[in-house]
Amino acid sequence: MSFSTQLPTHPQLFAVFPGQGSQQVGMAKDLYEQFAVAREVFEEASDAIRVDLKKLCFEGPDSDLTLTENTQPCLLTASVAAFRVAQKELEFKPAAVAGHSLGEYSALVAIGCLDLGTAAQWVRERGLAMQKAVPPGEGGMAAILGLEDSLIDTLCAQAKEKAQGATIAPANFNAPGQVVIAGSADAIQQAIALIKAGGEFSGGKAIPLQVSAPFHCELMKPARERMAEIFSKMHSAQRPRSLVVPYVANRTGRINQEHDLVLDFLIEQVDHPVLWKQSIQYLLAANFKAAVEFGPGKVLSGLIKRIASVAERPCALTSMGDSKTLQTLETFLTDQRKSPAGELTL
């Protein structure tokens, strides 16, 4: 199905794709069993990296699926499979897309900017590089709840000073009052201690995250350099194609319609924070009023709901990751077509 010849399903609807952490054993299994297009997705991605992604996704075990180098191609494949089923069965086409971290690759594959096999190779290398960037136990991440962004900066500055200059910084701006920080293990512990002590951080809560590396901070510089090296050696056929559907880049939180910038943004997002809150705020301000999450779970739907609530801009939400939710999506799209359209201001 050619995006260039298809109008959006609804001019105010965008699609989103989850990042690492949303994976679950069994994801996309029934889509694979019921839809040929889903089987084609799994076969293409598996062949590209010579890994049985079907077995990893459907059978696990969880300990294998959660290895970063496995998680990233598996989640990419499951998310793209869900999208292509909706595309095939419902002639679904969004007016814009966005993905959280790894999900940015899924979004770019979904709209035809990146080839699936190439993206599968890249995200597997990305996962390996991110895992190797920091030795186990030397980095960490924590979710900070209930604090304004300005206090997050203050928190990181104080934790860095207490940890004698160790790295710590915001990694994911997920939603109002929900920011993930990343950095050296000792600096993360200092930040958690500062939250517990109260004071100017009273009302905040810190939740240590069980992650294999401190993603999206300057400690990921070796992974960023590895991705830059990979992209520099790619074949001409692997280059990003024209963006016939605009996407919101993690790095900027703004719509990008220039395919020449895609690789730069993918390189930079490795060691810079994910501007998810800013991305959704931008889309809502541009008068997008509905979103569909493709892939396992509803993590992004929950974040979008919170962002929309604080912004006081209604946003209809649904998710699609299996055959049951495909039926829900069909009803959702029918309802959205009946909704009054407004002018988008991209």
Helix intervals (H) in 134-198:
149-162, 185-197
CA 306 to chain CA centroid, nearest Å: 17
Note whether 53 and 67 are within 8 A (CB).
no
Q: Is 216 a catalytic residue?
A: yes
Q: Which of 116, 113, 110, 102 is nearest to 223 (CA)?
A: 102
Intra-chain end-to-end CA distance of the chain, in Å? 25
Pairing of the two strands 168-175 and 205-209: unpaired
Radius of gyration of the chain, Cα coordinates, nearest whole angstrom: 20
CA distance 3 to 243: 10
> 22, 101, 212, 279: which one is catalytic?
101
CA 282 to chain CA centroid, nearest Å: 16
Q: Is 46 a catalytic residue?
A: no
Note whether 131 and 212 are within 8 A (CB).
yes
> 100, 216, 279, 319: which one is catalytic?
216
328 pairs with which residues across the strands? Answer: none
E strands present in the chain: 13-17, 96-99, 139-145, 168-175, 178-184, 205-209, 247-248, 255-256, 290-294, 316-320
* 282, two tokens: 């931008």
91-106 CB burial, b ≥16 within 10 A, e <16? ebbbbbbbbbbbbbbb
Q: Which of 323, 292, 220, 217 is nearest to 18 (CA)?
A: 292
* 288, two tokens: 């997008």
Q: Which residues contact 135 (CB under 8 A, 6 or more apart)?
A: none
Q: C-alpha angle with apex 298: 295 to 300, nearest 5 degrees?
A: 90
Q: Which residues form the catalytic set?
A: 101, 216
